[in-house]
């Protein structure tokens, strides 16, 4: 702890001095510091809320394109009919009631020197601190033949929850028994690392529940392993026999091209005819981050591990799916809602400290991510990080996945399936209420 | 001069906020993700933890950390925290108000639950509000969570350490357990 205090103290000296030397950002006309938050998903919403909660005097503006947010977590359960899209929807009135100025618009440019954000409508917002939580955008060119237009019409990726989720659900329902549901998984990192495999499980749950047991779920994967693999494989064997097949990248699993007319997925050496073709295109940080020059060569935003401040631009904090964060390269934080929320809370502490000319507080990062592989069959992965010697490290004595083999398996899996639902209610309230 | 004083005041104000985000509040805010702001859960399968007795919170967290108490998820989180952090978290959440959650529960269920209280009320009270400073209150706790807890005590493979609870839960039928969960959940 002593070492930490000394580090914080040293940081206090180095941060406070230049902050005071510059034009004092909080000393403008209204006497209020202005924080702009771009992106009203889990990360952005919780940042806006906690900033207002901890510092009611601050002027907080949240910029978000859509009036209603749809949670990606638990949206695979909508595809299988085990959940409803309306339960995943939430508006911004909770934040507005708290005094957050919510602007339904789109950020089109960031000027980090002048500290302004320009919106599509033409409005320019000045900030003393900027939180960027733009989520992900897709690189459609990563799969030849796939386009954004196809995603919105015949071939939904459904990797942002909403209308595409319901389109994919309809396609699954229309698939005849004996059909093949193909899920093409992009190279990592992608949001919700267990997402594609949970989706395969939910599709199989639907097929089994509707007596379409001759059907097949084929996962064509660009990667050689996946999140919670042992748990998923156990669930698949227990509930679905051989219905789900996973083809890793090393076995020619990577989809490089599709033919949308025949719904054929092409790998380097093979082709797979699908009845439902669900291509999840490769991701990168939300376009605004890329455009503002905050991304690295891989398309993600590097940040200070302890504060979430961009290492490219001062006074810009990047949280959620768009950042790359954690004990790299082995234990990065997954791109999950839970990770985004803890990152945003750390950024809030760091921003308040910056505005006060103080060192950033000790950060706490955790991730808990549930997957539901069958009715009453859920499991999770936990990540915990802590600061040691001024560096963020993954706490190896903690974290990890749910126990795989245990005599208590029925109770354990039921508990975590139920917890997943309770978790979502709480995290949505933590961010939006 | 005036603006310098104004700035000093502003700085002092912001300093307090920054401090508020430090230490145990910052760590505790990571609990909010699942257990609700200040430990008041709005998710029917997740327990409220704000206002639970400090001794109870300390005990269960230390037992999860050491692995002597079964947990689905919590043990994996707590293994990374020091005993001091755990004690601080317990003190922090114990200080928060206990907020019973209003839940839609049919009156007939409450009456049925009242008839099956015999094995529960000695410790948890007929109002769900024990006064021994150690037993957790269950009034207005989420019915979904209470029922899931009972499943842990009924399953010998889980092996919960509290024998009294194991015995009591096993003597009730599934229907009675659901009814008692509903009964306590309905108490204000």
A370 and A426 in a single domain? The answer is yes
- Residue A408 in contact with partner chain B when CB distance is under 8 A: yes
Nearest CA among A80, A81, A68 for reference residue A162? A68
**B131: confidence class by pLDDT, cuts 50, 70, 90:** confident
| Chain B residues touching A382 at Cβ < 8 A | 73, 76-77
Residues of chain A with pLDDT under 70: 1-31
CB contact under 8 A, A55 and B10: no
Average pLDDT over residues B44-51: 97
Q: Please, what's the b/e burial string for A359-382 (b: 16 or more CB within 10 A of its CB; e: otherwise)?
A: bbbbbbbbbbbbbbbbeebbbbbb
Q: Tokens 């339960």 — which residue?
A: A87
For residue A247, report the phi and psi dihedrals to the nearest 5 degrees: -115, 110
What is the Cα–Cα distance from A339 to A325, expressed in whole angstroms? 10
| Matching residue, tokens 């768009």 | A322
> Which of A252, A268, A283 finishes a domain?
A283
For A342, which of B33, B36, B151 is closest by C-beta distance?
B33
Q: Which of residues 42-81 of B touch A (CB under 8 A)?
A: 42-46, 70, 72-73, 76-80
**From the centroid of its chain, how far is CA A166?**
20
Boundary of a domain, candidates A267, A283, A299: A283
| pLDDT of residue B96 exceeding 50 | yes
Question: ∠ CA(A411), CA(A417), CA(A422), 5° rounding?
Answer: 120
Interface test with B, best of A58, A342, A418 (most B CBs within 10 A): A418
* CA gap A36, A321 in Å, rounded: 18
- Mapping DSSP to helix (H, G, I), strand (E, B) and coil, where does residue A393 land? strand
Domains of chain B, residue spans: 2-186
A130 and A147 share a domain? no
- B87 to chain A nearest CA, in Å? 17
Q: Are A200 and A215 in contact (CB under 8 A)?
A: no
- β-pair partners for A90: A69
Measure B90 CA to nearest chain A CA, in Å: 17
Domain boundaries, position A81? 2-137+284-432
Residues A155 and A23 in one domain: no
pTM score > 0.80 for this model? Answer: yes
Query: What confidence tens digit (pLDDT) does each residue in A414-425 have?
Result: 999 999 999 999
Q: What is the pLDDT of residue B91?
A: 96
Residues found in chain B: 188
Range list of H helices, B79-119: 83-95, 107-115
Write down the pLDDT at residue B23. 77
Residue A105, min C-alpha distance to chain B (Å): 27
B80 to chain A: nearest residue by CA?
A398
Any chain A CB within 8 A of the CB of B5?
no
DSSP H or E stretch at residue A271: strand A271-273
**Which residues have CB under 8 Å from A20's CB, separation 6+?**
A357
Q: Does A104 touch chain B (CB under 8 A)?
A: no
Does the pLDDT at position B60 exceed 70? yes
The residue count for chain A: 433
Please report where in the chains the tokens 């200080």 appear, as a residue.
B95
Mean pLDDT of B22-44: 92
Q: Do A63 and A167 fall within a single domain?
A: no
CATH number of the domain where residue A337 is located: 3.50.50.60
Instruction: Tell whether A101 and A148 lie within a shared domain.
Output: no
How confident is residue B15, by pLDDT bands cut at 50, 70 and 90?
low
Handedness of CA A62, A64, A67, A68 (dihedral sign): negative
CB contact under 8 A, B41 and A422: yes
Contact (Cβ atoms closer than 8 angstroms) between residue A331 and residue A421: no
Is A12 an interface residue toward B (CB < 8 Å)?
Answer: no
Contact at CB, A422 and B14, closer than 8 angstroms:
no
Closest residue of B to A5, CA-based? B23
Res. B133 pLDDT band, cuts 50 70 90: confident
- Please name the residues between 156 and 175 in chain B that touch chain A, using a CB distance below 8 Å: 157-159
Q: Nearest-CA residue of chain A relative to B16? A: A356
Q: Considering only residues 43 to 102 of chain A, which have any Cβ-Cβ distance to chain B shorter than 8 Å? A: 50, 54-55, 57
The per-residue pLDDT for range A141-152, each reduced to its tens digit, is 999 999 999 999
CB atoms under 10 Å from CB of B146, counted, come to 22
Going by pLDDT thresholds of 50, 70 and 90, the confidence category of residue B92 is: very high
CA–CA separation, A385 and A330 (whole Å): 13
Closest among A402, A405, A408 to A378, alpha carbons compared: A402
Q: How many domains does chain A have?
A: 2
Scan residues 329-388 of A and list those with Cβ closer than 8 Å to B.
338, 341-342, 345-346, 348-349, 352-353, 355-358, 361-366, 368, 380, 382, 384, 386
Give backbone dihedrals phi and psi of B31, rounded to 5 degrees, phi first.
Answer: -75, -30
Between β-strands A129-132 and A316-318, what pairing exists: parallel, antiparallel or unpaired?
Answer: parallel
B11 touches chain A (CB under 8 A): yes
A159 and A77 co-located in one domain:
no
* Residues 93-152 of chain B whose Cβ lies under 8 A from any Cβ of chain A: 142, 144-145, 148, 151-152
Tokens (6 digits) for A392: 């963020």
What's the mean per-residue pLDDT of chain B? Answer: 89
Check pLDDT > 80 for residue B3: no
Please give the full DSSP string across A66-111, using - where no structure is assigned. -SSEE-STT-HHHHTTSS-GGGGEE-SHHHHHTT-EEEES-EEEEE
From CA A337, how far away is CA A187, in angstroms rounded? 20
Q: Looking at the domain that runs over B2-186, which CATH code has it been given?
A: 1.10.760.10
CA distance B149 to chain A (A): 9
Chain A positions in Cβ-Cβ contact with residue B45 (cut-off 8 Å): 418-419, 421-422
Give the one of B23, B33, B44 whose C-beta lies nearest to A338's C-beta. B33
Contact (CB<8Å) A55/B14: yes
Contact A311, A304 (CB under 8 A): yes
pLDDT in tens, A188-239: 999 999 999 999 999 999 999 999 999 999 999 999 999 999 999 999 999 9
Q: What is the pLDDT of residues B103-128, one digit of tens each?
A: 999 999 999 999 999 989 999 999 99
List, in sequence order, every residue forming a beta bridge with A264; answer none if it has no partner: A259, A273
**Is the CB of residue B35 less than 8 Å away from at least one CB of chain A?**
yes
Q: Percentage of residues in chain B with pLDDT exceeding 70?
A: 88
Give the pLDDT confidence score for residue B14 in this predicted structure: 55
Q: Is 50 exceeded by the pLDDT of residue B135?
A: yes
């Amino acid at each position: 702890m002593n070492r930490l205090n000394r580090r914080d103290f040293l940081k206090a000296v180095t941060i406070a001095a230049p902050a005071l030397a510059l034009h004092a950002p909080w000393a403008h006309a209204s006497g209020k510091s202005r924080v702009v938050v771009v992106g009203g998903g889990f990360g952005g919403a919780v940042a806006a809320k906690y900033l207002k909660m901890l510092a009611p005097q601050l002027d907080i503006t949240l910029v978000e394109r859509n009036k209603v947010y749809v949670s990606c977590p638990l949206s695979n359960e909508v595809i299988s009919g085990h959940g409803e899209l309306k339960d995943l929807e939430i508006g911004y009135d909770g934040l507005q009631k708290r005094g957050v100025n919510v602007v339904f618009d789109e950020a089109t440019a960031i000027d980090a020197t002048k500290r302004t954000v320009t919106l599509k409508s033409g409005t320019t917002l000045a900030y003393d601190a900027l939180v960027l939580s733009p989520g992900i955008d897709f690189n459609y060119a990563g799969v030849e033949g796939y386009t954004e237009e196809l995603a919105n019409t015949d071939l939904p990726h459904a990797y942002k929850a909403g209308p595409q989720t319901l389109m994919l659900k309809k396609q699954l329902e229309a698939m005849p028994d004996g059909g093949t549901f193909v899920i093409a998984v992009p190279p990592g990192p992608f949001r919700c690392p267990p997402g594609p495999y949970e989706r395969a499980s939910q599709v199989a749950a639907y097929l089994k529940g509707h007596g379409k047991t001759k059907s097949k779920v084929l996962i064509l994967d660009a990667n050689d392993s996946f999140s919670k693999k042992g748990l998923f494989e156990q669930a698949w064997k227990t509930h679905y026999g051989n219905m789900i097949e996973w083809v890793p990248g090393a076995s020619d699993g990577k989809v490089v091209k599709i033919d949308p007319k025949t719904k054929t997925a092409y790998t380097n050496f093979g082709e797979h005819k699908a009845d439902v073709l669900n291509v999840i295109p490769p991701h990168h940080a939300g376009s605004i981050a890329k455009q503002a020059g905050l991304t690295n060569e891989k398309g993600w935003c590097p940040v200070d591990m302890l504060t979430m401040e961009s290492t490219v631009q001062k006074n810009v904090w990047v949280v959620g799916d768009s950042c790359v964060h954690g004990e790299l390269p082995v234990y990065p934080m997954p791109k999950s809602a839970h990770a985004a929320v803890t990152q945003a809370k750390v950024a809030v502490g760091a921003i308040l400290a910056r505005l006060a000319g103080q060192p950033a507080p000790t950060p706490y990062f955790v991730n808990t991510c549930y997957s539901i592989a069958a009715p009453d069959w859920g499991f999770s992965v936990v990540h915990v990080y802590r600061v040691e010697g001024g560096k963020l490290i993954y706490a190896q004595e903690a974290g990890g996945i749910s126990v795989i083999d245990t005599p208590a398996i029925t109770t354990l899996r039921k508990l975590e399936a139920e917890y997943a639902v309770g978790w979502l209610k709480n995290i949505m309230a933590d961010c939006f209420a | 001069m005036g603006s310098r004083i104004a700035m000093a005041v502003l700085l002092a104000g912001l300093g307090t906020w920054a401090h508020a985000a430090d230490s145990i509040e910052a760590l505790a805010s990571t609990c909010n993700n699942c257990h609700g702001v200040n430990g008041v859960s709005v998710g029917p399968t997740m327990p409220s933890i704000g206002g639970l007795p400090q001794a109870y919170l300390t005990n269960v967290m230390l037992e999860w950390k050491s692995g002597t108490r079964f947990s689905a998820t919590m043990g994996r989180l707590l293994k990374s925290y020091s005993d001091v952090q755990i004690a601080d978290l317990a003190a922090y959440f114990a200080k928060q108000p206990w907020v019973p959650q209003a839940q839609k529960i049919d009156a007939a269920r409450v009456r049925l639950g009242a008839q099956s209280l015999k094995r529960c009320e000695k410790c948890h009270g007929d109002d769900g509000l024990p006064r021994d400073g150690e037993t957790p209150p269950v009034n207005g706790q989420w019915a979904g969570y209470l029922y899931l807890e009972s499943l842990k005590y009924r399953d010998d493979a889980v092996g919960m350490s509290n024998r009294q609870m194991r015995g009591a839960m096993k003597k009730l039928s599934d229907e009675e357990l659901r009814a008692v969960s509903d009964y306590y959940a309905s108490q204000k």
